[in-house]
Each structure stands twice: as structure tokens, then as C-alpha cells.
Structure 1
């Protein structure tokens, strides 16, 4: 696909459908005459018509600005994803469907999610982890506030609509010490990296996520929180890019006796170059409940082009990971891990 031509066409389709912001399609001669010629243009136009008003009402973003910020996503997304997005009746679900890096498939299996890094270390304090259904904390496309090159921006966990997050909140308590985040970079200007760190702390000389020009790529990380009076975290981006941030759980101070926990893991499974492989952890021992999990590998995913495009807990109590090896290294392995906990003495 010629991305430049597709992007120009999508921008035109989006812009004409919302210009000017106060004019209806019936009143606009340009909007009335313009009809997208491609299926991609028609789908993009449908999504803009349906959701521009919602974005303006909830997030205060002018329809034209939102349409322009979404144009790269609509231009790059597989058509199957745009068709799937057009069927969604919820804004967050629509954005998730349109932003998937691989074509949507209706086959059964674990829901797609941004790729995780190797299992991150839990903060050293005695903390209790609470899993959440993935909840949108921020989406710079929704509020048309793309990250600038070299910018470090703070994101809070309480007032989310100002940063493109869920209008209903994500139920993160004010005493949370750390959060599990799925961070996706969309359409960066050049190759670079992100660093996530506690607000108010010195930015570490480390990368949380590497990306390439025009990429749509994500990682799962555990981020410590800083800030006052409400917990926040900061994200530094080397290049200009849009960010989509979901929260999947949080750590808070344990109240009372700590849980008795143990980790169960699958064997390491080889992922040959170009292959897609699944790893599934054992179920928890009797009396234990799965409280979390993760995916690990013998290589650094961003360097070796290993992409975890599906992961999460299963109804059976196990934890499953699905990865694609986009590189040429045949000596790549993955493993699925589940964290199993119980109240002591029970």
C-alpha cells in the first residue's frame, strides 16, 4: 500500500466530514460533494461521523483536530480492523479495534493486547497486587495532544478525560505505589524509544520501549508512581509520537498478613523465524488462585523483533502467551508464567 497516498486520502476524507466543526454535512457544499472512493476512506468517514461528536462532548477535542490526529491510524490499519472497529458500539472498543497492529481475526482465542516485556520485578516493598480489566488511561490521539520529540509528560490516574482516558475512570486508589501498564506507540516520526519513570524522579538512562519510524508497537511494564497529592507517572519520548496507555492492575500496601504466593511456569518453547507459537502455564495448585501472570523470553523483544500479540489469564486458571517471531533468529524461546496466591493457613 502507498502509505503517503493513503494518508492524504484519509486526511481529506476525515477533514471534509467535520469542516467546519459547527457545520452539518447537509450545510457543507464540500462535504456534500465529497464521497470517499475506497473502502478505507468510507470506513474512516463512517468512524469520524459516528464518534467525532462523542469525542468533542467527553474530551473537549474539536472534531477536525481529532479527525486529523486519527488519520495516520485509519490509513495504516488493516481493513479487517477498520471493519471490526465500525461494528463497535463503545468508543474505547472502537479505538482498540482500529489500533491493533495485526489484522483482526474472529477465530476463538485470547484477546489481542500490546506485547509484554520479559517479566518485570515487583517493587520490593510488601505490596498487594490487584488485577483489573484493561482500562484506558490515556490516548493522545483522542485529545489531539501528540507527544513532541524529547518531551517528558506526566499522566495521572484520577482525572483521565483530559488525557484521552476513560470517562468512567479506572478505579485506581490514591495509595497505589505502582501500576501494570500496556503502552503502545503509534506512528512515531523517527526511530527512538520511550522511558517510563515516577513523576518527580530523575529520568533513568534506560528504555521501556523501542520503536521504529511509523511503527505501532507496545510493551507491558510495571511502573512505579510518584507525584503529589495523586499518584502519577511520566513518559519520555525520543521522537514525536502518539501514545495509547492502558492499565491492567496496581500495587498497593498490603493490609494485614501478606498473601502466600508462588509462580508456576511453562517450559520454554522455541519460536522459529516467521513462526507464531503459544505457551500456556500450568494451572495453580489446589487452594491457590491465579492473581496475575506474564510472558518471558530468552531475547530482548524489540531487538530480536519478537512480538507478543496476545496474552492473558485463561478460564482454566492458566496464563497464555502468543508470540510472533518477525526476525531471522531461530534460537528464540518464550515461556508463560502464572502467579498463584492464597491467604496463609487456608
Structure 2
């Protein structure tokens, strides 16, 4: 698994000629293309080569020990990345404290951006994204497709597309004749949790699961040998567009495929508010006088969101109506302009919490 994780992060094109001498020199003496201070002496090309030298020197032992890769193999696989990333990214990668952090800087995972120079961190692009801030809904394992029952083998070097959401009956693609415990009726969801099983392929190969209409990634979901019945679990992002299909499966060699869904990820619903009103007892304001009072404080777990003040006759007026920070009450100040009779005021507050809260 560690080897696979590493290979996914690697570039796959040949190392440009301007980097080859620097890499070779690193293996031989560790000093080529550098001036006395350890920096490149002849511009950006040499500077890139120098940074690559330092990266290789810093991580060569971990590559050999953890991934059982020879240095030359690693350098060749990483050549495209070393050649294409901006020089500031190489400089930031050189400051990484761990190998995983270095890889994440050179090839950020989807949805992440390298942090600012010197931060050694990876930052999220956004908060509250409807495609990433999700809740998982587990279901009993349910078959949504079986090519032995519908469609036949996926042909060599082709992709087949499957319907996952807004389905009342999956039997048309070889699956259950139900909506899989409500999954088919849940509307569009951003990702699914699946068990993919290849069944007796005639030759070795692999399948790749990816969102419908998306570019096929350079990754394998299940690797298999001839005659295998082999499965693997994967969480796969799904297309949320208007098309009927949401999931695509590429097969490097012909194979039958069974897909079982065990859950899905959907945007969290906004919970409704649970609100109550608190009302003070009558606040007496004498003739031609002022008075003050407050609503009872909200109960534990509730927060005051609004409130108000009233008086019993038109002789009274509201001088002030507000909520003081931290008080969780509605404050009222009254003025009774009747020259002979008293008046009464009332303060009320509206206290709310999210349902399911304490």
C-alpha cells in the first residue's frame, strides 16, 4: 500500500536533459551545478537542477528503505514532476519535514493547496463546499450492478457507465430489484462507498472507478490476475450532473464486474430550529415615570435570537429595546407619559437551538 501511495504521486515522463547531469552529479559527488554556498550558479535551469539534487539527497534513504526503490527508478518516475512544478514549489518541498508532506507539496491531493512558503502546511481551498462537506449514510450491502446478469463483460480497454442515484430498481444493470434501502431515492449524492469485485477475467489487468464524464485517473481500483475472483473497497466521487449515469469503470482487460454499495455521502441537511419564547411578568411603570425590565434568560443550550417590548396603553412608549452581549435576555426601558395612572410593560425574548442539541 505504501508503494502504491508513492507511485500515485509520481510523474511518468522522461527527465529532461537539463536535469539529468545534476541528478547524476548528486549520485556521484553531490556538488555539481552548485556554488560555494550550495546555490545554483547559473540561473533558473541550474537552480532547478540544484533543488532536485537536494531533494534526492534528502529522501533517497527513505525511498530505498520504505518503498524498496532504487534511486534511479525514483528519479525517473519523478522526472515529470521535478521538471514541471514551479521553482518556488520545489523550494517549499525542500523544507518539508516528512516525505508525505514533501509529496503533498509537489503533487497536492485534490481539494488541497500547498501552504505559503515556509509554512510546511497544506491548506483547504474552502469551507462549506457542497461537494466535500458531507455526511456518510450507511446502508446494508446492496448490489447495484452485475455484468454477468446485464451487459456482459466489460471489453478490453473500454469504460462502462453505471447509474447509481435516482434509481428505484437496479435490476436493469444486474443489481437488486429495489432502491437499495432508500439510496436510490436519496437524490444526487457526491460519493459512494462500494465493493468492486472482478469475476474470472481471462487475462491479468485492472479496473479503475471514476466519476462519469471525468478524466480517467492514472490509478487502479482492483488489480487482478487471470481467473481471479477478487474485490476491493473504494469510495468514489460521483458525477452530480443531469446525466443518468454517475459512475464509470474502465477495464484494462475484459472482465465481469459486480458492484455492491454499502453507503453514500450526501450534503448534510440543515437542521430546523427549536425555538421557545420567554416572557417577563408585568413591569409596573408609575405615572409620568420610567421603568426597566428584562425577559427571563434563555434555558441552557438556547440562544436569544430576537425579542421585544410592549406596554399596555398608548400612553406608554419604549425608550430602549436591546440584547446585551452574553446576557441571553431582552432588555427593555419604558416611559409612562400618563400624568395620573400607572402603566405596565412586558419584555419577551425568542430563544432558539438547533434540534438535536443539548
Report 1 or 2 for greater relative contact order, CA contacts < 8 Å, sequence distance ≥ 6. Answer: 1
Which of 1 and 2 has greater Rg? 2
Question: Which band: TM-score by shorter chain?
Answer: 0.3 to 0.5
The TM-score normalised by the length of structure 2 is 0.37
The TM-score normalised by the length of structure 1 is 0.38
